[in-house]
Structure 1
Amino acid sequence: MSALPAGPTESPIVQTARWVARPIRFLEDCRRRYGDAFSVTLRGFRAPLVMVSRPDVIRALYSERRHGLPPGRTVTLQPLVGARSLLLLEGEEHLSRRRLMLPPFHGERMRTYETVMRKAAARELAAWPEGRPFPVHPGMQAITLDVIMRAVFGVADHERREQLRPLLRDLLAGTTSTGLQVSVLFGRRRPLERLRENADEIDQLLLAEIAQRRRAAAGEDICSLLVHSRFEDGTGMDDREIRDQLMTLLIAGHETTATGLAWALDLLAHNPHVIARARTDGDPYLRAVVSESLRLRPVVPIAGRRLVADLDVDGLSLPAGTDVTPAIWLTHTRPQEYPEPYAFRPERFLENAPSTYAWIPFGGGVRRCIGAAFAELEMRTVLDEILNRFELRPASRRRELVARRNVTFSPRHGTRVVVRRR
C-alpha cells in the first residue's frame, strides 16, 4: 500500500485550530515545508486528507467520474438541502439531475437574469452612504439573496417575498457562523438540527411556489424551469426534490457569490488603475477582473473526492479510499502558472489564460459548480453597476484578512470602503 504524503505532525485539534483560525498561513506553511502534496489530519475526518495543488494531479483527480463524495458532506449539508440535493447524489442519479438542471444556467437564457441582477443591485446601491467607511459584504449578501428570490425561486408576490426574506437571511446567517463550523468539526450535530427545524417555514413557502408553477405555463425563473423539465423517460422531479434543488442553489450560490463580490471590491479599491481600465475597456476586461479576483481570493478553499481507484500521477501514488482535495489557494498561486502570483493583474486572463485545472474556483469535473456561469454573470453585472455609480477607495491601507465563514474564505471586516457618487 502506498504511503500518503508527509504533512504536519501536530495533533488533529491543533491542525484544525490552525485551519480554522489562519487558513492561508496554514496552507502556505505546509507548501513551504512539504511541497505540492501533503496530508493533514483534521478533527472530524476519519483519516488524513491529502491536499494537492499541481494542475496535472487535479486533472487526474477530476477526470475520474467514479470518485465519491468528500468526507462530511452528507452530515453537514443534508439537514439543510435535503437528501435529493444535487450536492449529495452520486453516480447516475447525480448525472441525470445535473443534465436536467444545466440548461437554465447556460447560453442566451442567462441573459434573462441580467435585468433582475441590475435591478437588485440598484435597489441596494441607492442606500449606500457617501463619504464615510462602511462594509460592503452585507450589501452584497442582500443583492445575491434578492437575485435568488426573484430569478431562482421566482417569487413574484411581494407579500410572500417579504415573508421569505427574513427567514432566508436568518437561515443563511446560521449556516455561516463560526460556532456552527466549530460544532460540526467537533462532531456536534444539534446546531445543524436546529437550523433544519428553523427551515420548516421556508419549506412551506417554497412548496407553495412550486405548486403554483405546476398550475401555470413554464416561466423564465429557475423554479418554473425545473418544474416543467423532464428526464429522458418523460418523468420529472417531484415537489420535494425540487425543493431540495432550490435550497441547494440557495446554500451554494448566495454566500459564495456575495463573498466573491466583496473580495473583488477589496481588490479594486486598492487598485484604482484597474477600476479605470474596467470603465473604459468594457465587458472583456470586467470578465478578466472577475477571473483574477476569484484566482487571488478563491471563496471555497477545497473541493475534494474520495478515491474509488488508485491515483497515480508523475510520482504521486495514492490508494483507493484516500480523501483527496485540491488546495485551491495554493493552485491559484503557483508561480509556474502565474508569474507574480500575489499581484492583482486581470490582464493575465486576456494575455494567456491559464489551463483548465490551474484555475478552479468552482471545482471541476462532473461536480463542478452548476451555477458557475450564473455567478460570474452576477459578479460582472453588480460590479458594472457599482463602478458606473461610484468612486471607490479603501477605508484603510491595510488589506483585508481572511476569515472562515463555514466553508468559505471571507473578508474578516466585511470589506470596508468609502464611496462617492460619480
Structure 2
Amino acid sequence: MASTFLHTQQDTVADHNIKGEKNHAGIRFLVKLSAVDAGIDEVQSWILEETIKILDVKSASLFLCDESGDHKLTKKMRSEGGQWTSQVISMDESSEVEEAMRTRSQLIFQVTPGSRIFYIPLVADSETLGVMAVESEQKKFDSDLLAAIGESLTHNMAKSKQARQAQETIQAMQTFQGQLLNSRDTLRALFDSSPTSIYIVDPGYKLIAINIKRADLAGRSPQDLVGKQCFSALYQRGTPCPGCLVEETLQTGSTTRRIERRWFSKASAIELEISTFPIWDNDRQIVQAFLFEEDVTERQQLQASLAQSEKLAAVGQLAAGVAHEINNPLTTIVANAQLLERSLPAQDTDQLEMVGLIIQASDRASQAVRDLLDFARRERYELAPTDINETIQRTLALIGHELGSRSISLQFDPAMDLPLV
C-alpha cells in the first residue's frame, strides 16, 4: 500500500515538473511572439510549430476568414510530420469552426475517447479573424496557455492586418496624389498654352491664377502676379477698372461680356472681348470669377471689311440701275447720229466729222456701261480657259479714269502668243 502511494506521489511531482516546464516554455514563447517581426505567413507557421512542441499536441491548424466577405475559410495546418498544407474550404464544411466563430468562445469537441479538439476564436476589435484548432490526446490539457497563445496570435494578426491596410492606404494615396499631380500639370499646360489671356480673381480682386499669355502682356511672371489685386498688378490702378463686370458676376452669378479698346501706344490699339464666368463651390456659393480676354481686333476688322463690302455691293447694284438708265438714251443718240451721218452729203466733211465724234463718244460711253454692268452682275464663277490679255484690257478700261486722275500713265504691251489659262 505504501509502495503504491509513493509511486502516485512521485507521478504527481513529475506531472507538476512537466507542467512547470511547459509553463516556462509557454511564457518564453509568448514573450518571443510579442516581439517577432516577420511576414504573417511565417509567423503563423512558426506559431503552429511551437504550439505543437510546447503543448505536446497531435496537430494544430488555423482557419482564417476571407476578407472579401465570402463564406470561405483558408485552412492552414502543420502536422506532426512537419508538412504544411493550405486549402480553401466552405464554412459549411466545418460546423465546429462556424460555431466557435459565431459564439466567439472556446469550444471543445470529443473526437475519439482519447482525443479532443480545442477551438479558439481569434477576435480583434469585434472582428473575427479566424479560429485556431488544436487536437490533443492528453487527459490534462493546459487550455489557459492555449488561450494565451491564441490571444497573442490574434494581436499579431490584427497588427499585421493594420500594417497591410495602412500600406495599402499609403499606396492608394500615393497613386491618387500622382493622378492629382498629373491632372494639375495637364490643366496647367492647357491653361498656359491657351492663346487667350486667362486669369481668376476672388471677391477682393486678388489674382488666384493667371496664365503665361496674360502675364507676358503685363511684363511679369505668373508667380509675381498671383496674390496681387488685378487692377493694380495688370493696369497700375488704385481702384477697380471702369466698366469692370467682375462684381456683377460675383454677386449674381451671371456671365458677362464686353468689348474694350486698349491702347499700347498712341498709334497702336487692340480690341479685347472680356468675358467673366462665376466659379461655384460645393455649397453653390460663388467664390471666384474666371476672366477671358480675347484679342478680337482682326475679327472686328473683318466685320468692318464685310460691312464695307456690303456697301460696295449696294453701290454696285445702284450703279447697275443707273447704267441701264444711261444705256437707253445712249442707244437713241447712237441710232440718230448714224441716221444723221447717212443723210449728210459726202462733201460736207465738217458735219460728217462732228457726227462721227458723236458716234465715237457714244460708243465709248456704251462700252463703259457694258463693262460696268458686267462687273456688277452676280455671276456663277466656274473655272474655264481664259484669255489673260482680254481680262487685263477690260480691267484697265474700268480703272483708266482713276489712273488718269492720279496722273498715272500705264502702258500695256500684251504678248500675242499667250495660251489660254
Q: TM-score range with shorter-chain normalisation?
A: under 0.3
Q: If each structure's strand is expressed as a fraction of its own residues, which one has the higher value?
A: 2
The structure whose Rg is larger is 2
TM-score (norm 2): 0.17
Normalized against structure 1, the TM-score is what?
Answer: 0.17
